[in-house]
Structure 1
Amino acid sequence: MQAAIIEGIFPRSSRLPASRELARELKVSRNTVINVYENLMAQGYVIARTGSGTWIAEALPEGCLQSPLAPQDTQTLPSKQATISRRGATLLGHATASPYQWGAFVPGAPDVAAFPHKLFSQIQARLSREPDVHRLIYSSGGGCPDLRHALAGYLRVARSVRADAEQIIITEGIHQAVDLISRVLSDQGDTAWIEEPGYWGTRNLLRINGLKIRAVPVDEQGLIADLPPRTKAPKLIFVTPSHQYPLGVHLSLERRQQLLALARRHNSLVVEDDYDSEFRFSGHPHPSLQGLEPDAPVIYMGTFSKTLYPALRIGYMVVPRNLVEPMRIAAAELYRGGHLLIQRALAEFIQAGHFSEHIRRMRLLYSQRRRFLYGLIERYLGPEFLPVVNHDAGLHLVMNLPDGCDDVAIAASALRRGVKVRALSQYYMLPQSRRGLLMGYACVDERQCQDAFGILKACLADAGIRPRNTSVFAR
């Protein structure tokens, strides 16, 4: 035991087991354990606290590191380096998850402090006092039935999604949904279309699952759904039609119809990522692509990461009826679903109207913050720096930069000064000249926004980027 204390197996200031319990576990007499404890106490390794047992001393005796119990001349054998697989090396080589997920101007970060945590905690606490065995075991049915029913009703009204509760599978976010879809509905070597530019998380998941990726250009009407002659038809087509990520364009009705027709003709499946559609600040909300036609060849994905908070780790898929059973079985086999208590709390949160009320409040708040940031760009940089596409929606905007500038270097310079923007060029797979910065405004109040914008403005000046009217730049 002395050696275990010296080597840190028993941490300092930690409590040792009661002598009776340790004797029973080691199958020795209690007197033997008491003698050991007394010897350790006499040497200064442990202390006794009346009424609370025996504890490792915070400061060990001097010289214990040179204890004869510690081997001095043992030859250390070289350890073999762990081998990373080719698939693992591919994943690590394209890893893009940022350690910076909060603050000015992290794209897509909601204001997590504005969520009604106290109310949600009260719901969870009440449910936890009503234990239900079905909330305490693995989930093999696609998630909490109450949440699936609540979502079906919400999505029908808010997003025009054609679905009932049986078609909904609860996931731990969009990444898990993409992983499940690509594993179950495609084989290695199949082709998947993604938007260009597009979300790198989807791109990396498809790559690690062995799909061939084709980057399909996006213009002011969204994805250009065109299949050239002698081109292999895609098995999967990933789109963000309501608010394209990252540019923000909306997939036009004509393009939506073309995309669905192409999918039906070639037996492809469209995967609709509706990641932040709740936050549209003017005009009517765009309905889902999935609800445009009956039995559309579309899997609809959503998440609570933007509407509530990312650490909740709850998302969902609406799958065609013929895929419900295989997708549900595969989800249970791969991920062993759980978190049923928090899913039940979320269901009540939605059914009681709290979710819709929260969305209304956040929509107003984010709209004000977006206008403020937009105004800073227009006032201090000029209209040429404003987003090329100004769709009044989402949790970020793309500040335009001159072609040919190094937006990656500008973003790195800003990060060193505590401002977290992302370079637009990193969202493209193919070489191109367009440059810009993704700027999230949802989690930044006006004071923080103005201070951070001043730092970013200095970074642009250091990079030699100035507006035509240099007098406003110097303010």
Structure 2
Amino acid sequence: MHSLAGDVIRQAFFSGTEEKLHKRLYTAICNAILSGNLPPASRMPPTRDLASELALSRNTVLRVYEQLQAEGYISSRTGSGTLVTHSVLDNLDCRPAVKKEAAPVEDASLLSDRGLQLLAHASASPRQWGAFLPGVPDVANFPHRVLKKFYDRQARQLSPALLTYDTTGGSEVLKVALTDYLRTARGVQCSPDQILITEGIHQALDLVTRSLCYPCDKAWAEEPGYWGIKNILRMNGVAIVPMPVDDQGLIPDAEVDIPPKLIFVTPSHQYPLGSVMSLSRRQQLLAQARKSHSWIVEDDYDSEFRFAGQPIPALQGLEADSPVIYVGTFSKTLYPALRLGYMVLPEQLKTPLKRMHSELYRGGHQLMQAALADFIREGYYAAHIRKMRQLYSRRRQVLVNLINDLSGSACLGQYNSNAGLHLIMQLPAEVDDVALAQRANRQGILVRPLSSYYAGEKRLSGLLLGFASMEETEIRTQFHRLASLINEPG
């Protein structure tokens, strides 16, 4: 039977130069132990197995093991086998000094211009869990045991198709379940064969950009808007055209000389400001996209978490055969590490984009997709969203009250809608929100500066405060700490 220890010894043995086989084996095992390749408590291969792997007599291996045991390198216990001893660490000082070579110096010039540009605009937080981190749901309240039950059920009736690459755009049962859900909950017009399962929003946006854009094509992006979209456009050589946002969402420009190839919008809950795109603005945007042969990429961000009024239907479902690529994710409704999202593709694009997805990314996670389909179909997904909507609404209200108590309702974002997983706390124009956020981050308060979401010079100062992942008592405690930082001079 092959083992990792056996592989280490075999490689060292056949690299040795000793003529006598027992001496070569002894040296190979000693070097492997002293170099750390066989650390203390490693299980040595049985003598019979090692002899077979090295084409040696068993007596030769026994002789070497006895010598190593006498010198304290290994020890043998009845029922436990032969192990590398912990006391071998005492021998490490006897190793010959090895001159360490200096690690190569990081050299940014090795990167492409696009790579350097991406790093210059990198905004992903190094920490993905903490006080007021925006965009993070309460993963502790997710019914993991329920999803595991469906996962285990699928695993018990496993078919080879669930363990191989996917080339059809995702699990068929998940696409059917999603179609039913999106029609009912979001007003999306689609059939299962229009759905493509992705590993989250970023992969979906990257696929769309690579598939539909030439280098130097133009794309409209909301100003301010999500940094992830802009970085994907930069990496694909697409020119970003920042488009201003007001209380009705993105403001289209009908007088442009060169129309955009793509128009990125978050109409149900504009990120980060929170405005909702009005019906007239949606119709205007659809008409302009048809006229200019542009594609609208609708990121249905935070659409499930509206805490007052009726849900806002998706832009995609307003017109039949609309020029809209609809993208969504389970990162906010379930949990981010699931890494599952989806696209609803127009009829003209569904086949080529599925083929491109298969060529570029190699779809997978079929077993989890099948389990998730059961989770949706049996009503647990909708029930979980209802439960979390109530929970997030209470937490949001706690934060709203704290902001109002500190400085009045004027500090809440000017387009603030009763939805989403974060609030914007506006600051006076003279306050450096980037410096303030950095001070807060160093103390474990993971707010984001609003000004960093702008591409142009005209920027608002403020902080994005995520509340979804925090208990109400923690919201109060951490907000008082943040308020102290805001009130500090300088």
Q: TM class by shorter-chain length?
A: over 0.9
Partner of 1:188: 215
Partner of 2:52: 24
- Per the TM alignment, residue 258 of structure 1 is displaced from its structure 2 partner at its CA by 1.3
Do 1:404 and 1:433's aligned partners in 2 also have CA atoms closer than 8 Å?
no
Partner of 1:437: 463
Partner of 2:21: none
Partner of 2:81: 53
> Given the alignment of the two structures, is residue 170 of structure 1 paired with residue 221 of structure 2, yes or no?
no
> Given the alignment of the two structures, is residue 402 of structure 1 paired with residue 422 of structure 2, yes or no?
no
Q: Structure 1 runs of 4+ off > 6 angstroms?
A: none
State how far apart, in whole Å, the 2-side matches of 1:459 and 1:35 are.
Answer: 70
State how far apart, in whole Å, the 1-side matches of 2:73 and 2:97 are.
Answer: 19
Partner of 1:116: 143
Partner of 2:339: 313
Do 2:220 and 2:262's aligned partners in 1 also have CA atoms closer than 8 Å?
yes
Moved more, 259-268 or 156-165: 259-268
State how far apart, in whole Å, the 1-side matches of 2:232 and 2:489 are.
Answer: 34
Of 126, 131, 142, the residue aligned with 1:99 is 126
Structure 1 letter corresponding to 2:62: I
State how far apart, in whole Å, the 1-side matches of 2:37 and 2:208 are.
Answer: 44
State how far apart, in whole Å, the 1-side matches of 2:106 and 2:223 are.
Answer: 38
State how far apart, in whole Å, the 1-side matches of 2:384 and 2:105 are.
Answer: 53
State how far apart, in whole Å, the 2-side matches of 1:191 and 1:37 are.
Answer: 70
State how far apart, in whole Å, the 2-side matches of 1:303 and 1:87 are.
Answer: 27
Do 1:45 and 1:61's aligned partners in 2 also have CA atoms closer than 8 Å?
no
> Given the alignment of the two structures, is residue 346 of structure 1 paired with residue 390 of structure 2, yes or no?
no
Of 293, 303, 323, the residue aligned with 1:267 is 293
Structure 2 letter corresponding to 1:11: P
1:62 match: secondary structure: helix
Structure 1 letter corresponding to 2:155: S
- Within 5 Å, give how 1:366-385 maps onto structure 2: 366-385=392-411
> Given the alignment of the two structures, is residue 415 of structure 1 paired with residue 441 of structure 2, yes or no?
yes
State how far apart, in whole Å, the 1-side matches of 2:411 and 2:100 are.
Answer: 64
- Per the TM alignment, residue 71 of structure 1 is displaced from its structure 2 partner at its CA by 5.8
State how far apart, in whole Å, the 1-side matches of 2:102 and 2:487 are.
Answer: 55
C-alpha deviations, 1:411-431, integer Å up to 9, x for none? Answer: 111112221111000000111
Moved more, 419-428 or 124-133: 124-133
Do 1:44 and 1:61's aligned partners in 2 also have CA atoms closer than 8 Å?
no
- Within 5 Å, give how 1:287-302 maps onto structure 2: 287-302=313-328
Change (3 A) 1:345 1:381: same
Partner of 1:467: none
- Per the TM alignment, residue 61 of structure 1 is displaced from its structure 2 partner at its CA by 5.0
Of 43, 59, 74, the residue aligned with 1:15 is 43
Gaps of 5+ in 1: 465-475
Structure 1 letter corresponding to 2:249: G
Of 148, 168, 185, the residue aligned with 1:141 is 168
- Per the TM alignment, residue 48 of structure 1 is displaced from its structure 2 partner at its CA by 1.8
TM-score (normalizing by structure 2): 0.90
Moved more, 50-59 or 455-464: 50-59
State how far apart, in whole Å, the 1-side matches of 2:54 and 2:437 are.
Answer: 59
Partner of 1:240: 266
C-alpha deviations, 1:368-420, integer Å up to 9, x for none? Answer: 11011001111122222122123100100101111121001111111122211
> Given the alignment of the two structures, is residue 6 of structure 1 paired with residue 52 of structure 2, yes or no?
no
C-alpha deviations, 1:155-181, integer Å up to 9, x for none? Answer: 000000011100000001001101111
C-alpha deviations, 1:123-180, integer Å up to 9, x for none? Answer: 1122212211110111111011100000000000000001110000000100110111
Partner of 1:473: none
Partner of 1:330: 356
Partner of 1:66: 94
- Per the TM alignment, residue 75 of structure 1 is displaced from its structure 2 partner at its CA by 8.5
State how far apart, in whole Å, the 2-side matches of 1:36 and 1:278 are.
Answer: 68
Structure 1 letter corresponding to 2:140: A
Do 1:43 and 1:61's aligned partners in 2 also have CA atoms closer than 8 Å?
no
Change (3 A) 1:46 1:239: same
Moved more, 309-318 or 7-16: 7-16
1:247 match: secondary structure: coil
Moved more, 147-156 or 91-100: 91-100
State how far apart, in whole Å, the 2-side matches of 1:458 and 1:236 are.
Answer: 43
- Per the TM alignment, residue 228 of structure 1 is displaced from its structure 2 partner at its CA by 3.1
Do 1:410 and 1:463's aligned partners in 2 also have CA atoms closer than 8 Å?
no
Of 135, 151, 154, the residue aligned with 2:178 is 151
1:193 match: secondary structure: strand
> Given the alignment of the two structures, is residue 44 of structure 1 paired with residue 69 of structure 2, yes or no?
no
